[in-house]
Structure 1
């Protein structure tokens, strides 16, 4: 299952807007406040008709705060009163592929205070009802439920993910969708969950031994295998080798190839954020498809949204995070946003969507090249950001000096004064000045020959 296109009308900043998604990965790039998160939120709403088919699962809706606002200026004799006017209907349309078949659907909010419609989402709702019916009547373990999850920028600060692991771990498969589109997760809840799972695994092993069922699989062990494998795949590139619960220290511990054993609380926000996200996603996969056991993370398909995938991560990790997450969950379609040129350098150009606004009109650009490119080049070409901070006076001095050199004015009083300041600033470490010196020598040689 994957989503191939999203169409928005009067949704937040979008008047009429369409964006296509790659089957495996789409990376959305834009300035702050230019609609990246709105796209993820809209996808979460679009998937609602499927999720609502499962007991205890709440589907995201279009709210009144999602309605696009336009200026409505009313003229008066001495003043203009600025008002905002809500634009209806709000429409979220989507195209996707389910069980190999292409389907289209849409949801609408037609008026203030109304409810988000699902009448035009029949194809997706029917798929959800079919899956629920099959689970209840046939209970066929071969039925694979797609995972769906949304990880927003608040994923470190709320405690409403990783719900308790219960002893009926192989039952109630649809519970893997509970709160899945709430864009937050919790490192604290994960620690409590992992402790419970580890203790349950020990107790179940004891039960199997005492009842003579040693050949029977321990479902808790299978869950832990899937979660542990997913976590280490996501953080292993940074030197982390394993994660476990220490009954001796009554704490969750993580092992590093050079730093040794550390409690999870000692880790950075970035590391804990990746661990929490990987654990939550792997756990949901095991809940949805328990018969896959330790292979759940590797074999479960689905759609996962991640806002600012580079959040809290060092640039070296930003260069690995997308690759690692896709390796841990290879059958998932990821739709992510980023501000990081390091992330962009690790994904193919056809996966990138650049949102560019011009006079309230939006265009979606796709770069010609990105995978393996130098980060500074992508900063300029894709994000339209100069590689130097343009507001600094010393940078302006540098550009002025380089211009004088190019105009054969390197020996003027202005150029000499600029060079003195630039040498004090750079301490001989600025490559642009080294190149300028080479250019000056060549120009001096040509000048003498005239």
Structure 2
């Protein structure tokens, strides 16, 4: 399943906005990124997608299910109504007759509309497309309870994991449709992730051979290679497929981590090995906890919703992540899109970011700049340095604006040196800057070289 186009009518600051999402004919990537200043409308786009997709989630779960409505506060000031149009392409629904002729469109458009209270709106909701697509998935589920379902998830800026709540207040089920539970409203839920992980691990442990039993067998069989090969194969076969997928996803993003597991002594907690040291997950940094929770949640939902896949991470769907760079080290920001697409290759991603590193280190990404005037599709930014993107795309100085202005004044003063007075003026500017900036500042070093050349030239002319 892919979202091909989103159209907003009177949403937020937009009168009408048509956005095509990757992949396109000219871009085979499955990643769309929006950049822009705070308040430009990036989050409004993601929330509108989540609102529209909530109708598909609701109608897959129930034939008469209702998704979220457009909040009245989202309707543009001065307008009576708003609407969100979504055009979805689903390959699995595209069928043909015996001669190979298509008898069913694979495109499913629908509209969610909302008038203000007491107003007549010019838009009418149309749920025919979403009803047909949801009916298609319910038909598949009716004939095969292990059929794959598309993931739809929205991770807002409120996804930050500050603590690790492991006390289970309510018992939850983890059936296939539970993969949609709060997927478009709550985002990361580490408590639910832990509860699911513990349940799957308990089942896995019941089927596998414990380390103590292996030690006893080693005393009996010694180092007989044939016996140990068979035991290794059996132990591998008892590994839970869903847990294996989740562990693999987390380790792909954070290769320094390994052996994620639930520990019950001295108290119930989740532990992980980091660089050969065993840590409580709560001891990880804010960025590590947030990234683990995000990737773990995506992988968990894919695992639950694709029970028949040998590798559940190959399931498809659409994932929306607001401020994807939040709390991430620059090194992780650089590799984030590549890691997302390699780990979840069949998912469509729609991201927002403030980081030039996110959009400059991945090839073939569809990038939009949201400015006050309009929304512009940017040319490929792969390989651009971060400073160029800050200046040319994000309209932001590459350094402190006051320092930048003072450096320019210094360079201008150096260029204008033609006598002792102008030389003295330039040296004064340099001295005051040296008092405020670190001694290893590269711009200061360059200015010193230019100043010395001008000084020597002035002496020679004298």
Q: 1:349 to 1:328 in 2, by over 3 A?
A: closer
Q: 2:156 aligns with which of 135, 142, 152?
A: 152
Aligned mates of 2:418, 2:426 — CA distance in 1: 7
> Contact 1:55–1:174 (CA<8 Å) still a contact in 2?
yes
Aligned mates of 1:242, 1:338 — CA distance in 2: 31
Displacement after TM superposition at 1:253 (Å): 0.9
Question: Does 1:425 find its partner at 2:425?
Answer: no
Question: Does 1:62 find its partner at 2:73?
Answer: no
Aligned mates of 1:218, 1:50 — CA distance in 2: 36
Aligned mates of 2:182, 2:43 — CA distance in 1: 18
Pick 1 or 2: higher relative contact order, CA cutoff 8 A, min separation 6.
Answer: 2
Displacement after TM superposition at 1:312 (Å): 1.0
> Contact 1:305–1:336 (CA<8 Å) still a contact in 2?
yes
Map of 2:254 onto structure 1: 235
Q: Which runs of 5+ in 2 are unaligned?
A: 24-29, 95-105, 210-232
Aligned mates of 1:45, 1:324 — CA distance in 2: 27
Q: 1:371 to 1:122 in 2, by over 3 A?
A: same
Aligned length: 409
Q: 1:290 to 1:405 in 2, by over 3 A?
A: same
The farther-off stretch of 274-283 and 103-112 is: 103-112
Correspondence 1:152-301 to 2 at 5 A: 152-156=156-160, 166=173, 172-203=175-206, 221-236=240-255, 239-249=256-266, 250-257=268-275, 260-293=277-310, 295-297=311-313, 299-301=314-316
Q: 1:114 to 1:306 in 2, by over 3 A?
A: farther
Question: Does 1:322 find its partner at 2:327?
Answer: no
Map of 1:345 onto structure 2: 360
Map of 2:427 onto structure 1: 416
Map of 1:81 onto structure 2: none
Displacement after TM superposition at 1:157 (Å): 5.5
Aligned mates of 1:186, 1:174 — CA distance in 2: 17
Aligned mates of 1:157, 1:267 — CA distance in 2: 11
Q: 1:426 to 1:269 in 2, by over 3 A?
A: closer
* 3-state SS, counterpart of residue 174 of structure 1: helix
Aligned mates of 1:410, 1:363 — CA distance in 2: 51
Map of 1:374 onto structure 2: 385
Correspondence 1:20-39 to 2 at 5 A: 20-23=20-23, 24-39=30-45
> Contact 2:356–2:389 (CA<8 Å) still a contact in 1?
yes
> Contact 2:154–2:320 (CA<8 Å) still a contact in 1?
yes
* 3-state SS, counterpart of residue 199 of structure 1: helix
Q: 1:164 to 1:354 in 2, by over 3 A?
A: farther
Displacement after TM superposition at 1:252 (Å): 0.8
Question: Does 1:356 find its partner at 2:371?
Answer: yes
Displacement after TM superposition at 1:427 (Å): 4.8
Aligned mates of 1:445, 1:266 — CA distance in 2: 58
Map of 1:75 onto structure 2: none
Map of 1:14 onto structure 2: 14
Q: 1:302 to 1:4 in 2, by over 3 A?
A: same
> Contact 1:165–1:197 (CA<8 Å) still a contact in 2?
no
Displacement after TM superposition at 1:218 (Å): 8.4
The farther-off stretch of 280-289 and 180-189 is: 180-189
Q: Which runs of 5+ in 1 are unaligned?
A: 71-86, 207-213
Map of 1:95 onto structure 2: 87
* 3-state SS, counterpart of residue 37 of structure 2: coil
Aligned mates of 1:344, 1:426 — CA distance in 2: 30
Displacement after TM superposition at 1:223 (Å): 1.8
User: Aligned-residue CA RMSD in angstroms?
Assistant: 3.2
Aligned mates of 1:270, 1:113 — CA distance in 2: 46
Q: 1:127 to 1:351 in 2, by over 3 A?
A: same
